[in-house]
Amino acid sequence: MLAIMFLRQGALCLVFTALLGVAYPLLVTGVAQVAFPDRANGSLVRDGEGRVIGSTLLGQSFTGAGYFHGRPSFAGEGYDAASSGASNLGPTSRDLISTVAARAAAARGDGGATVPVDLVTASGSGLDPHISPQSATFQVSRVAHARGLPEDRVRDLVAGRVEGRQFGILGEPRVNVLALNMALDSLGK
């Protein structure tokens, strides 16, 4: 009797492993590949020659004066997804306060403008690909000057790349830094 019970449990284990561990994941992957191939493959962005240059879902490091900069990454300069995460520093942490102050001073340069908070603080994942429209606008003067473009043209480029709230109600308006920098590169300067 006990042997029969163990055989049934073993058979059930094999059946559920095959169903839930193999068949279901293959089905979901197949449906995703057919219905949403771009998203299922990581929302990769390719250049004109087909080379992968990034993803719309992960932040990248842009450091040149002629590019818009994204949020700082706790995951390091390369926005390494393997070390994704937050710093876990609290608002009274001296390390956090000095880091934010240094980032704000660097972003401000010689001016005394108030720096948008998302340019000096990392996101929870450290891999956020978006910045606020205010952060993009804050950088317009620097980028336009570095590229020799009129500020109005760069400001219009930013305005054209603002993504609204998801479904009209979720989240905040945002700008994808990679898409904005690619559009900037397409201007040619």
pLDDT 10s digits, 57-66: 888 888 888 8
- pLDDT for the residue 53: 80
pLDDT > 70? residue 142: yes
Q: Map out the domains of the chain as residue ranges.
A: 2-38, 42-186
pTM across the whole model: 0.76
pLDDT in tens, 10-52: 888 888 999 999 999 999 999 999 998 888 888 788 887 888 8
Angle (deg, nearest 10), helices 133-147 and 151-160: 140
DSSP 53-83: EEETTS-----STTS------TTTTTT-GGG
Amino acid at 125: S
- pLDDT for the residue 176: 94
DSSP 170: B
Angle at 100 (CA atoms; ends 95, 103), nearest 5 degrees:
125
Query: What is the SS3 assignment for 181?
Result: helix
- pLDDT for the residue 51: 87
